[in-house]
Amino acid sequence: NREWHLVSRPVGRPEPEDFALVETEVPVPAEGQVLVRNRYLSVDPYMRGRMSAAKSYVAPFELGRVMQGGAVGEVVASKAEGFAPGDHVLHFFGWREYAVLDARHAVPVDADAAPLSTYLGVLGMTGLTAYAGLLRVAALREGDTVFVSGAAGAVGGQAGQIARLKGASRVVGSAGSDAKVRLLLDEYGFDAAFNYKDAPVAEQLRAAAPDGVDVYFDNVGGDHLEAAIGRLNRGGRIAVCGMISVYNATEPAPGPRNLARLIQTRGRIEGFLVGDHEDLRPRFAEEVGAWVRSGELKYRETVVEGVENTLDAFLGVLRGDNTGKMVVAV
């Protein structure tokens, strides 16, 4: 078994020296446990937060210990009622090839109903984030103009498409390459999209959303957030999902300079965590599952092969190497 340990806490951008790939014995399940051979590991931006010691909504990773994260795999040995070898499960013991875990932490998934990797992405955590953030937190209404940043990523690509499917009148996205912009326009059905590296976001957003923005789904923070506040329409809502532009910052990031616009617009900014919206999961699974099966909602995955490349896959998410959900096939 190979597993990834955090050996020192990164300051700024994480470096390979902060991590170690460690060889261990394949663990043996005790009573009530299952042994899972992981097939797909999830790497996600929020993991950067767990590498720091700062208190947050999830505990920091422990130094010298295996890291955690979403994973799907196959049960290879079971000492738990209800689980048998060959079953597929979703769980939280990623960053390793083999995981032993209490059966109550294993969620069965149907490998025949959908590709295993999708339970980490379009039908999993990032999918529910898009769904809950857009429909509940931002309270999307028919006819809204919606702006999504990080729009070629896992959450953003799905948020923009759900907006379209739920009757938004205009969906605008930003992403960090021309190829990603083309994907948004040609495949995901965005009405307008721009490469935020080409020119100031505020300028590009003004051109892309001439009648303003009713909903901004923020994955990025920084200039993007300020630009969205600057274009916010009366009664506009901003769902703060993530702020990836500041995850490696070593100093507090400057705040938006135009918050006073919230008074004029009676605007609302609200942060959220997907974990607080588990009650939406059945509706999400039904509605999004149907859109994925019918092809109305498209998704991409970037698949990196090999447990030894998990760290590079994670660093790649922070660099923008991925289109859609980044997963590691192990």
- The reply on whether position 204 binds ligand NDP by CB under 6 A is no
- Cβ 296 to ligand NDP shortest distance, Å: 20
42 beta partners: 327
CB-count burial class (<10 Å; 0-12, 13-18, 19+) for 2: middle
Contacts of 317 (CB under 8 A, 6+ apart): 43, 44, 45, 326
Nearer to ligand NDP, 114 or 318 (CB): 318
- The reply on whether position 177 binds ligand NDP by CB under 6 A is yes
- Part of the chain binding ligand NDP (CB under 6 A), chosen from 77-85, 96-104, 237-245, 285-293: 237-245
- Part of the chain binding ligand NDP (CB under 6 A), chosen from 70-78, 82-90, 206-214, 238-246: 238-246
Nearer to ligand NDP, 213 or 327 (CB): 327
- The reply on whether position 297 binds ligand NDP by CB under 6 A is no
The binder of ligand NDP chosen from 139, 185, 202, 273 (CB under 6 A):
273
Nearer to ligand NDP, 83 or 314 (CB): 314
Of residues 94 through 133, those in contact with ligand NDP by CB under 6 A are: 126, 129
Contacts of 237 (CB under 8 A, 6+ apart): 137, 138, 139, 214, 215, 216, 267, 268, 270
- The reply on whether position 92 binds ligand NDP by CB under 6 A is no
- The reply on whether position 134 binds ligand NDP by CB under 6 A is no
Nearer to ligand NDP, 213 or 240 (CB): 240
The binder of ligand NDP chosen from 78, 245, 265, 310 (CB under 6 A):
245
Q: How would you classify the pairing of strands 71-78 and 268-271?
A: unpaired
- The reply on whether position 219 binds ligand NDP by CB under 6 A is yes
Count of CB atoms situated within 10 Å of the CB of 109: 20
- The reply on whether position 265 binds ligand NDP by CB under 6 A is no
Nearer to ligand NDP, 98 or 196 (CB): 196
The binder of ligand NDP chosen from 72, 155, 162, 205 (CB under 6 A):
155
Residues that contact ligand NDP, how many (by CB under 6 A): 28
- The reply on whether position 184 binds ligand NDP by CB under 6 A is no
Q: How would you classify the pairing of strands 301-305 and 268-271?
A: unpaired
The binder of ligand NDP chosen from 14, 29, 156, 173 (CB under 6 A):
156
- The reply on whether position 313 binds ligand NDP by CB under 6 A is no
- List residues near ligand NDP by CB under 6 A: 44-46, 126, 129, 150, 152-156, 175-177, 180, 219-220, 241-242, 244-245, 272-274, 317-318, 320, 322
